[in-house]
Structure 1
Amino acid sequence: MSENRQFLEKFFPIASFIAAIIGPKCEVVVHDISDPERSIIFIENGHISGRQVGDASTDLVLKLLKAEAYHEEQFIANYKASGKLGQSFRSSTYFIKNDSGKLVGLMCLNIDITHMEAAAEWIQHILQGGSLVPPTSIDSPQEDKQSKEYLQGNADDLLQHVITTVLSKTSIPPDRLSSKEKIEIVKELNEQGVFLLKGGVSQVAAALSISEPTVYRYLQKLK
């Protein structure tokens, strides 16, 4: 067992403690950042997002690692996240650092507020005196387009989500993009932390209809 893993295991009881206090609608996850493809090493109430031990980091975790935002902050709190089934979450992340101040892991809290948002909409209708119309779907509301994190399972799901999200910003088919446009897309994907994952280069190459060596060449141009 690695030294980092032993250090992170000290936070498992804290994660269970938090989950027990907040309740079954709160998922608490401990990530080991040394292995982004299988970063989840402990999870309470994983049924909420459908994730389990051995699953990958999220898109936000990759961005945090790439941007090294943890140098300035101890945590980030109360941001929006969404799940595979359209759930809405109020999420927070604590940066776990070792005795030397090096980041080794993350503890993430994801509180399912899907039904709370539906209830809040009903209450707002009542307070405003308007007609009381139920939401289109209480159980599966549309995904909040302002979400900052997507809670998925394995690394392939994560890569697919990030690549699809970035490519959706252009209406031009990948095989008709110019080299300059493809370089810009590779730049954004790099900033999203896609290439921290082992399958990142091959999936990006396939999505952009280019070869893997071309992806590496584009990355070299960005340095």
Structure 2
Amino acid sequence: MIEDRSCLESYFPIASFIASIIGSKCEVVIHDISNPERSIIFIENGYISGRKVGDSSTDLVLKLLKDESYREQPFIANYKARGSQGQVFRSATYYIKNSSSELVGMMCINIDVTHMEVAAEWIQNVLQGGSTLPPVPLMPQQEVVEKQTEEYLQGNVDDLLQHMIDSVLGKINVPAERLSSQEKIELVKVLNEQGVFLLKGGVSQVAKSLMISEPTVYRYLQKIK
């Protein structure tokens, strides 16, 4: 554990270095995955997303921990993230591993491109001049796969949980009281894959949203494992 913490701390100067190079619109965060509810142990320019040391993981961090994609690649880059105030970020995550090649943390870079997107749209309209030219992509074509990944930058655990649950339930557009038991099991499976149950309070919040008891959520989890 001490070794893992030292490993993470060795990235603090690198995070500051990156933020200094890119500038005030760049937030760099280091997450300690051993404590998802308070995973942020270092942050530069946290005012951009409103987060601070001691805040929680994001929905993407939790999902990456569940799908273990970090075993196949050293980082993911050029995906879109959104802030709690509607900001748009171009982001990247680097997997931090210890001397035994075990994942201990993540370094996340979030560049606020909110105003850039507005400027890009304005420039596009000027260049098109009312013609039917296809839209100019904000990112190069080779980044299409990466940008399908999205992240929600929220430091409050309860708000993060509710966002993750609402994102899943919002896709079915059916009130919880009208869902069958099998449909609720499938939703619990999806939420589990998203990493919701890695957070304390995940079972309680899911139970409330699906209008079932906490023991029922645990029973569903046993069925899908």
Same fold (TM over 0.5): yes
Partner of 1:86: 86
Separation of aligned partners in 1, 2:119 and 2:174: 40
For residue 36 of structure 1, what is the amino acid of its counterpart? P
Partner of 1:34: 34
Superposition map of 1:103-182 within 5 A: 103-130=103-130, 148-182=150-184
Runs ≥4 in structure 1, deviation > 6 angstroms?
Answer: none
For residue 3 of structure 1, what is the amino acid of its counterpart? E
Separation of aligned partners in 1, 2:130 and 2:123: 10
Helix, strand or coil: the match of 1:130?
coil
Separation of aligned partners in 1, 2:173 and 2:122: 37
Superposition deviation, residue 182 in structure 1 = 0.4
1:84–1:151 Cα contact (<8 Å) kept: yes
Separation of aligned partners in 2, 1:104 and 1:69: 14
What's the % identity of the aligned pairs? 75
Partner of 1:135: none
For residue 18 of structure 1, what is the amino acid of its counterpart? I
Aligned-residue Cα RMSD (Å) equals 1.2
Superposition deviation, residue 147 in structure 1 = 6.2
Separation of aligned partners in 1, 2:86 and 2:200: 27
Helix, strand or coil: the match of 2:173?
coil
Helix, strand or coil: the match of 1:51?
coil
| Unmatched segments (≥5 aa) in structure 1 | 132-145
Separation of aligned partners in 2, 1:172 and 1:76: 34
Partner of 1:207: 209
Separation of aligned partners in 1, 2:96 and 2:121: 36
1:8–1:105 Cα contact (<8 Å) kept: yes
Segment of structure 1 superposing worse, 171-180 or 23-32: 171-180
Helix, strand or coil: the match of 1:116?
helix
Partner of 2:97: 97
Superposition deviation, residue 130 in structure 1 = 2.7
Deviations 1:144-172 (CA, angstroms, capped at 9, x unpaired)? xx661000012111101000111111222
Superposition deviation, residue 2 in structure 1 = 3.1
For residue 113 of structure 1, what is the amino acid of its counterpart? V
Partner of 2:68: 68
Superposition deviation, residue 55 in structure 1 = 0.5
Deviations 1:8-64 (CA, angstroms, capped at 9, x unpaired)? 111001000000000000000000000000000000000100000000000000000
Helix, strand or coil: the match of 2:152?
strand
Partner of 1:16: 16
For residue 53 of structure 2, what is the amino acid of its counterpart? V
Separation of aligned partners in 1, 2:61 and 2:24: 23
Superposition map of 1:186-197 within 5 A: 186-197=188-199
Separation of aligned partners in 2, 1:160 and 1:76: 25
1:16–1:28 Cα contact (<8 Å) kept: yes
Separation of aligned partners in 2, 1:149 and 1:173: 26
1:82–1:147 Cα contact (<8 Å) kept: no
| Unmatched segments (≥5 aa) in structure 2 | 132-147
Number of aligned residue pairs: 209
Separation of aligned partners in 1, 2:223 and 2:24: 48
TM-score (norm: length of structure 2): 0.90
